Structure 1
Amino acid sequence: MTQGSATPLPAPKERRRLREARALTQAELASRLGVSRSTVRSWETGRTTPRGRKLEAYVRLLGVGTTLSDDAVSGRQEGSVPALVGAGAPPPSRENRATENRRASEDRTADGPEPAEHADRVAVDRDRGLPGGEGAWGDADQDSAVREPSLTPAQAFDALYAFAAPALVRQTYLLTGRRELARESVERAFQLAWYRWPEVAVDRDPAGWVRATAYEYALSPWHRLRPRHRHPEAPPAGGSERALLDVLLSLPPVYRRTLLLYDGVGLGLPETAAETEASTPAAANRVLHAREAVAARLPELAHPEDLHRRLTELGSAERLRAAKPRTVRDHGEHRARQWTRAAIAFTVLLIGVTALTLRTAPDHYEAPLSPPETIHGLPPRSAPGPLSAEELVLRAKLRSQTSSGPARLVPDIR
């Protein structure tokens, strides 16, 4: 398709100058046109050319007049500045958004292949299970329409679990020397990953996130208090594997973890230092000291390649298996529900105790009683003593006489 005189298009350099003259960035222009920023960049560099309705909208946003000469359009004459009209077209309305998105996809197909940078980003998105295209990156130049993801969260989690869990169980076994603890650590790490899946899904290295969580749980010192961890497990069957595992477990946990990441997993020194939360020189020193300790007891493993090979063989010899991803997700959700119910019950109990305290607490001030004091100068109070002889005769006389009838005693009031 050739350009018509009704929709003139400036030269590539002139397109960029016109956009900058209107104070528009590539992202803003791409958002108004419904395309990606890489497409606008390819238009301004001359790799591709807009066609159809995108061409008309692009020319209108650049402010190019429809009555320009061919020399002004091609930019061959110096000083030929196209007239600027208006402040640019408004963004598409909500009713026309679906239509504009469909036309954008058609025009993007007609424009030819995207630049290599954009294709690489789409390939990375596809590998990570994210939606393809510009909308997967959350840039300012993405389409306003919501793209459907290629994988559901459960499917993406299952894919990550199938990819990382088997090797991670073997790594954790080399880190702890306990098979059950290795499986438990990996399952707990993936349960936490499923609980925080919105955070893990956008992480640069989801497998590294889960690995760091599993290592932290496996090396927790609180496992020493558990009854089943007070007794050692059965060692590997082979003598060489048993000797290597004993050497690894004799290292300090931080040295063991650094050596496993660098020589076992194969991470670089900066990545190892970042995962172990240490500086790069400190991680290098830990690797050197750990290698020296291993070489002192096993001289045949002095070379790093031999050590890497033996670590791989030791982890693969145990035939450790991880649970199914569906089981891990179900257990994680059940654990989350239990913690939620416990938090609700504790909150209700706290509210009840607070209400009871407010109900039974005194609502006014009572002054405390002053301590007692001894008063001197008063005679002590005497108790009644025994009756005298006269008092005894009088009491007998009173008891012997009747207390009723005409002969009763009547008190004399005179």
Structure 2
Amino acid sequence: MTQSPATPLPPPKERRRLREACSLTQVQVAARMGVSCETVRAWESGRSNPRGGRREAYARLLKLLAEREQEKTGDQEAPEVVEVTACQGAAAGGDARTAVPATAAEDPAAVALGDPVAVRTEDPTPVPEPRPERPLTPAQAFDALYAFCAPALVRQTFLLTGRRELARESVERAFQVAWQRWPEVARDRDPAGWVRATAYDFALSPWHRFRPRYRHPEPPPSDASDRALLDVLLTLPPPQRRTLLLYDGVGLDLPETAAETEATTPAAANRLLHARAAVAARLPGLSDPTELHHRLAELASTERLRAPRPATVRDGSERRARFWTRAAIAFTVALIGTTALTLRTAPTRYEPPVPPGETVLGVPPKVAPGPLSEQERELRAKLRSEMQNGPERVLPQAR
């Protein structure tokens, strides 16, 4: 696949040395870069390298670490780099401290799609030590995750479906599920990825085609180039569209894209190649991945997509949970009542059923006796005479 000119990076051993020289852990670097700790470990071991905007941000961070190392060698005070993003604070299960904001210059194209490296890491002023504060409550941690991820996630889902209302509904439903399973989501290594995968799965569900509100297409974007790009995206198969959005839109690495789409790395690379080829065939100007990334970000930023407030999402999640709980209780009570009524009205002994009547065949009809023949009359006379003049009975005599 084609790659844009890459920003030079120090060797893997030098990256690790700079991090350890400034007394930073891999967790702190991962939190500052918006990636997982395993990704930072892969960068420092040489197994993989960052790409795109994340590569530039990582190069700036290493340059900043090198300058601070030089300041330390010159017996100058070097401030410690400490920053925790909202998603990492939410991942701590409500125990994360509030982060020290750095002076950031944001890239509008990257911010539109929620690029985790959109915030620059250069800060000419020393960063003061963070003050210890009270741990975040679960609601505060959820609100921080929602404020960090929801706006960009709505725009991403719009590019995935082409429907504004479905994008908002998918993100809201994903965060409702996240609030219902908040202990699990809070302890997840990547809470933003968990919510993003849930929103994408709901948005790409094939059952939406049977809903009356989604049977008719929505008004397309006003700009002709935006309409052409959105049409090309919607003609791609859902797996290819999702892979293209995650890799060229959000800026994930290929292994992370494969893991989120539940595919192998070669399969994800194959989907990405086919999706890029389809886009380049329809729009030759977007054959460069960097230009495609900026066009996707511009298309998402032109839409007025607003996510509901986090308190509204939490209340909706609790109402949905109460509704299904009451429905389950009502169904259980109805089942118990039906079983009790059946046991009450059922017979206690076996009563054989009365068989229905049957027609018996082969029985001769009833007829009246006819006249006697001569022999029958003689037999009758003989029997009558013998009964009257029969033999005398032998009676015992007493002696």
Normalised by the length of structure 2, the TM-score is: 0.59
Residue 359 of structure 1 and its aligned partner are, at CA, apart by 1.6
2:285 alignment partner in structure 1: 300
2:295 alignment partner in structure 1: 310
Tell me if structure 1 keeps the 8 A contact 2:87–2:191. no
Q: 1:365 to 1:188 in 2, by over 3 A?
A: same
Distance across 2 between alignment mates of 1:218 and 1:164: 16
1:242 alignment partner in structure 2: 227
Distance across 2 between alignment mates of 1:366 and 1:322: 67
Residue 237 of structure 1 and its aligned partner are, at CA, apart by 0.8
Distance across 1 between alignment mates of 2:184 and 2:350: 54
Matched residue type, 1:339: W
Matched, 1:291 2:276: yes
Residues 46-88 of structure 1: per-residue CA shift (max 9 Å, x gap):
xxxxxxxxxxxxxxxxxxxxxxxxxxxxxxxxxxxxxxxxxxx
Q: State the SS of the aligned residue for 1:340.
A: helix
Distance across 1 between alignment mates of 2:321 and 2:227: 38
The equivalent position to 1:330 in structure 2, one of 315, 333, 337, is 315
Residue 258 of structure 1 and its aligned partner are, at CA, apart by 0.8
Distance across 2 between alignment mates of 1:282 and 1:297: 23
1:346 alignment partner in structure 2: 331
Pairs within 5 Å for 1:226-305? 226-305=211-290
Pairs within 5 Å for 1:175-214? 175-214=160-199
> Larger relative contact order (C-alpha < 8 A, sep ≥ 6)?
2
Distance across 1 between alignment mates of 2:85 and 2:221: 40
Structure 2 residues without counterparts, runs of 5 or longer = 1-79, 98-132, 369-399
Residues 16-63 of structure 1: per-residue CA shift (max 9 Å, x gap):
xxxxxxxxxxxxxxxxxxxxxxxxxxxxxxxxxxxxxxxxxxxxxxxx
Q: State the SS of the aligned residue for 1:234.
A: coil
Distance across 2 between alignment mates of 1:344 and 1:311: 47
Residues 339-388 of structure 1: per-residue CA shift (max 9 Å, x gap):
11111111111111111111222222233445636153353599xxxxxx
Pairs within 5 Å for 1:73-222? 127-129=88-90, 130=92, 131=95, 150-222=135-207
Residue 223 of structure 1 and its aligned partner are, at CA, apart by 0.6
1:374 alignment partner in structure 2: 360
Matched residue type, 2:174: A
Distance across 2 between alignment mates of 1:174 and 1:159: 24
Residue 124 of structure 1 and its aligned partner are, at CA, apart by 8.5
Q: Percent identity?
A: 72
Residue 120 of structure 1 and its aligned partner are, at CA, apart by 10
Distance across 1 between alignment mates of 2:157 and 2:367: 88
Structure 1 residues without counterparts, runs of 5 or longer = 1-118, 134-147, 383-414
Aligned residue pairs, count: 251
Q: State the SS of the aligned residue for 2:279.
A: helix
Tell me if structure 2 keeps the 8 A contact 1:194–1:332. yes
Q: State the SS of the aligned residue for 1:164.
A: helix
Residues 101-149 of structure 1: per-residue CA shift (max 9 Å, x gap):
xxxxxxxxxxxxxxxxxx999969994253369xxxxxxxxxxxxxx96
Q: State the SS of the aligned residue for 1:160.
A: helix
Residue 192 of structure 1 and its aligned partner are, at CA, apart by 0.5
Q: State the SS of the aligned residue for 1:128.
A: helix
Residues 238-257 of structure 1: per-residue CA shift (max 9 Å, x gap):
11000000000000111111
Distance across 1 between alignment mates of 2:290 and 2:153: 20
Distance across 1 between alignment mates of 2:160 and 2:351: 65
